[in-house]
Amino acid sequence: MANIVLLSLLPLAGTTLGAYLGVLKSKTQVDNQEETLVAIATGILGAICINLCVEAFAYVRDIKLLVGIMIGFAFTFLMDKITVQETIHSQLFWAMLIHNIPEGIIVGIALAGEITVPKLGIIASVSLQNVPDGLVVSMAALTKHGKFKSFLLGFLSGVVEPIAVAIIFFFMRTINLEMVEPIFVGFSVSSILMIEWDLFKSCHKWKILVVSLAFTLFFNGILG
């Protein structure tokens, strides 16, 4: 059981490490790198979108996929209304927090069964990808907040992941994952696509678009 707990916290450890690395620079240095941060975040979410869209094809004829998509659109629309004066750093925080939910479910499913080398590889890949997640959130927050609050925001963006792991792990026997997975996939696809589009509109320069594409390909390779 102790091994399960440690493995479930490994993705959060990656986010925490990234959040710490993000606050090592000064506000002046971060101000000059805001476009790069947006490009990295856009690339990360782009890779997630590709993987989720591929997975969604498996449920293309399932009405529950459409239900999940509608829930995702409604959720993201509601978040836009709540954060009317949304800044880049809050956009990045919500983007990273939301996409950690499906990652937490993936890790939870991996831990609920027999632990194998491929499953350990999945957990390691998610944990590695979480390092730039935390870094992007904390660095972006430095433009408005102090180092401690910026680190805290980076850390909190990843807390949802072990929560999702715990829910899937402890209720694996009572929840029919095959029944709810299409809803989860649809929700993830639509919500992340909307956030991805908002971030993409912030990439005004062609060089930033190239950087975003490069990071999409890189993280897509990590996620397999």
Write out pLDDT tens, residues 63-89.
888 998 898 888 877 776 665 555 666
**Apex 139 CA angle, 137 and 144, nearest 5:** 95
Collapse the DSSP code of 89 into the 3-class scheme (helix H, G, I; strand E, B; otherwise coil) and give the result: helix
- Can you give the residue ranges of every domain in the chain? 63-223
The 8-class DSSP code of residue 24 comes to: S
Q: pTM of the entire structure?
A: 0.70
User: What's the rounded Cα separation, in Å, for the pair 118 and 115?
Assistant: 8
Residue ranges of the chain whose pLDDT lies below 50: none
